[in-house]
Structure formats: structure tokens, C-alpha cells
Structure 1
């Protein structure tokens, strides 16, 4: 059993990354993706999962957990090749197959292509995890350009729509879709207004899609993380926010990617056969409405 009280608490070391969505290697402290702690129990034995944003952070933790539960994993990511290869190494170490799928999900053709390549390699898709996201911090609405707004929406909700639509052709009854929303869907951070509003859209999309797909036997749910220590944080937030990251939660610390994995496993598993249209909050004690 992992002693989570030992996870780092603010103040965290001052740090910034220039590239978005950031890299794992420069982070201090290093995130915990469950490399040493997650133990599988065959909950996803023989399944095929496509995970976007699986190179690092929450996506890597989910990929490791899914592999240890018995799933083959397609790892979709932008261009963080070293991070993605590390995720693939953990998947293969668990005895499962890994497929690397680099590319920009704001490209409509790429959304179809990554689904097609997953189906070609593995024969089908049992679980789709729409996890990739983009964010940037702004103090004033006037500072957000039209291009920045459009990029945020295209990455966070537009790609989710397109990838899901393409994946449905390869999913059968018993399949599961798990979307990553955020505590920002219910309690929006004004400095992340573009990102936060997409997360509200994701939660709404999840609820509507769950109803649309119920007769087809495909479940749709979402996970709402609170502040989680991933490369997105030092690459998109000012130094003061990074240093105090997670201090606003009742647990007074950021969550680690590993601490979300069990929620994604449960929602993907057959044990959650009557769970659809739900939001699972993993927020360090902060309630969502």
C-alpha cells in the first residue's frame, strides 16, 4: 500500500518549461505514474485501449494501469517522443503491446488516422480514453487571441468529438469511453477561462453521449481531476502558481497521476456495467456539484 502522505506538498521548487504541453524529465519532483505501486488484477484482460495524451501525466498513469490490467494500449501524443517511448516501455514491460501514434489532434485527418491505425494494429477498440488537453494562463480576456481560443477548443473538445465519432465504427457492445474533464468544469479558474470552459463542455458532451450510446451497449463517463502534478503545470502556469500548486485543496497538496488510475480502470472495466453518464471526481477533497 502506498503512503500517499509522503507525496510532495507546496511549496514546490520554482520551475518553468517553455514547450507545451511540457516534458516529464525536467520536473522536480518527478511525478508518480504508478510505476512502482500499481498492481493489476486482470480487470481489462484482452481489451484494446486507445489513450490520447498518453505520453505523460495522467495518460501515462492510465496506460501503465491498463497494461497491468491486461490491455494492449495505443499511445496517442503530440511530439514528446521520449516521454511516449517511456510509456510504451512500461506497457511492454507489463507484457502487453504498445502502439505509438504521434501527431496533432487539432488536425481533423489525424483524428481519423490514429483511430484507423489502432484498429488496423489491434483489430478493434474496446476502450477509448479522451485525455489530451491544452491550456494556457491569462489574466485578462483581452489577452486571449482568437487563435489561442480556437486551439484550446479544437484540442480539448473538437478532437474528442472527431476521435470518438471515428472510434465508434470499431467499438462493440461492452465498450467504454472515458473522458477527462476537470474540477474546472464546476469551479472555473478565471485565469484558465478557455480551458475551463472546454472542460464544462466535455462534461456535458459525456452526459449526452452516454444517453445516445446506451442502446448500443457502449458506456460513456468522465473523470474530473483536481490539481494533478503533470508537465502541463510548469509549462503553462506562472512560477508562483507552480510553487503553490495544490495548496488550495483540503489535502493541501497536488495529486499524483497514479492517484487517478484506479478511477479510469473502474470506468473501463466490465464491473462498471451500469455506470454511464457519470463524473468521478478525484480532487483531493474538494467537492464538485
Structure 2
């Protein structure tokens, strides 16, 4: 059975698109007809990802740009380039983020704190700011927070604080953008099979929940697709945990 082309002629941006959740989201949207502007700081991985997407979905227009979301000029230039190429923006997925280093609060270094907040909070803010200036009325934005944005994890305070802040950004943006019929939501993944999860397991053990496995990036991508699509037109300001009932319940 052919995949329904529910995003045909739609234009979406995705940050952190070279691997993990961002790549799964890009492939999910491309399979449903979307044109994509993809960004990541990892040039080689991004180019390989886009090459594969172009091969698998030759009818889609897909661009790739190396973007450091902690840099305002880089973010603004990317969105200007996206508008020049596609002429519009229907939706966006703000997924770029880093884990940072494991340390107790008493041992956190200023530079480690600032690096995580600059990427995870500042990067989401910079993208939101640019998106809300150009997005079509009726558009949708999905921010990637984490279950770490809902609860605490010892040893990961900069990351946890940044993901709590992403939820705050999401709720403010939903209020501000609502009059333009633009929806802004957040997803809070638990342990998902990604390179970042490998980093987590180096530093700590995570308990298994009632659904006793790690999640798959494609399972997050499906929820992103729902929140970007027509079936969620009255959903905004939501922060949805996807963790197999491990942490959020």
C-alpha cells in the first residue's frame, strides 16, 4: 500500500537531522510528500543522510545546510535561504540538542553549563524566533524536549534544566502564536535508540518501564507527524511524554 501523501507540497525545517530522531523525522515527512530544509552541525553525516533521502524519495526537494543553532547569524541565514528556495514555511521541528557532561551540581563548570544552554535553550529560541516571523498561518512547530524536561536526573543538571526551559519556551510560543492559528507543541522522549542514548548509558543506568525496552526514533517521528498535521489542529502548548510509562507516570 502506498504511503498517503498528506504533506505533499508542504515545506518543513528539521534541525539535528543527520541522525537519530531528526533523521527519522525527516524520512517520515519525506515519505509523505514533504519538501524539507534539513540542518545539522555534522556535515558528513548530514550529506549522507540527504543523499539517502534523495535516493529513496526522488520527487521531494530536500536541502541540507550546516547550521550551528547556537549562532544567531547561522540560524537566521538558514531560514532566509529556506524562504528563498521554497517561498514558504508550513512547519518546523526543533530537534538539535546536546547532552553535555555528567557532573554533580557542585562540580559543574561554567563553560559546560553555558554550552548546553546555548545549544538546547538558545538554539530552540533562535529557531522559534525565526520561524514565527515567516511561518504560514495555520502552521505547526514541534520542539524536542525530553522526559528530563519533566523530572530530574542526578548528574545531568545542565541538560535537565535546558529541557525544562524548552517546555517553557513551547508554552510561551503557543500563547503568542495562537492568534495566528500557529500551533507549538513539545515532545518529551524517554530512552530512544539514538547516539545520544549511547552517551547516557556510558554515564548512568536507566530503569526500564512497563514497556520494557528502549523506544525507536520512528515512534517519535510518528508523533511529530501527527502534531504537524491536520488531525491535531486544536492541540497547542502540549508537552507529550513518549517513554513507555517509565518516568512520566
Q: Structure 1 length as normaliser, TM-score?
A: 0.80
Aligned residue in 1 for 2:4: 41
**Greater relative contact order (Cα < 8 A, sep 6+):** 1
Match for residue 261 of structure 1 among 221, 234, 241: 221
Aligned residue in 1 for 2:177: 213
- Provide the C-alpha distance between the structure 2 equivalents of 1:204 and 1:73, rounded to a whole number of angstroms: 27
Spell out structure 1 runs of 4+ moving beyond 4 A.
none
Within 5 Å, give how 1:195-210 maps onto structure 2.
195-210=159-174
Kept in 1: contact 2:101–2:112 (CA 8 A): no
2:104: which partner in 1? 140
**CA deviation map 1:81-111 (0-9, x unaligned):** 2321232134322231111110321112111
Corresponding residue of 2:23: 60
The whole-number CA distance in structure 1 between the counterparts of 2:83 and 2:160 is 32
The structure with more helix, counted as a fraction of residues: 2
1:13 matched residue in structure 2: none
How far, CA to CA, are the matches of 2:247 and 2:108 in structure 1?
A: 29
Structure 1 residue 86 corresponds to structure 2 residue 32 = no
> Is the alpha carbon distance of 1:213 and 1:240 closer, same or farther for their aligned partners in structure 2, counting shifts above 3 Å?
closer
Counterparts of 2:143 and 2:4 in 1: how far apart (Å)? 23
How many residues in Structure 1 have an aligned counterpart in Structure 2?
A: 246
Q: Distance in 1 between matches of 2:44 and 2:210?
A: 35
In the TM superposition, residue 174 of structure 1 has moved relative to its aligned partner by 1.3
SS of equivalent residue, structure 2 residue 166: helix
Map 1:183-262 onto structure 2 (within 5 A): 183-234=147-198, 236-237=199-200, 239=202, 241=204, 247-262=207-222
Aligned equivalent of 1:71, options 3, 21, 34:
34
- 1:124-135 equivalences under 5 Å are 124-135=88-99
Decide whether the 8 Å contact of 1:53 with 1:59 is kept in 2. yes
> How big is the shift at 1:51?
0.5
Deviation of 1:240 after TM superposition, in Å, equals: 6.3
Gaps of 5+ in 2: none
Q: State the shift of 1:154 in Å.
A: 0.9
Where does structure 1 lack aligned partners over 5 or more consecutive residues? Answer: 1-38
C-alpha distance after superposition, 1:187-206 (max 9, x if no partner): 22112111111111111211
Q: Deviations over 1:38-81 (max 9, x none)?
A: x7322212110111101100000000001111111111101x22
Q: 1:30: which partner in 2? A: none
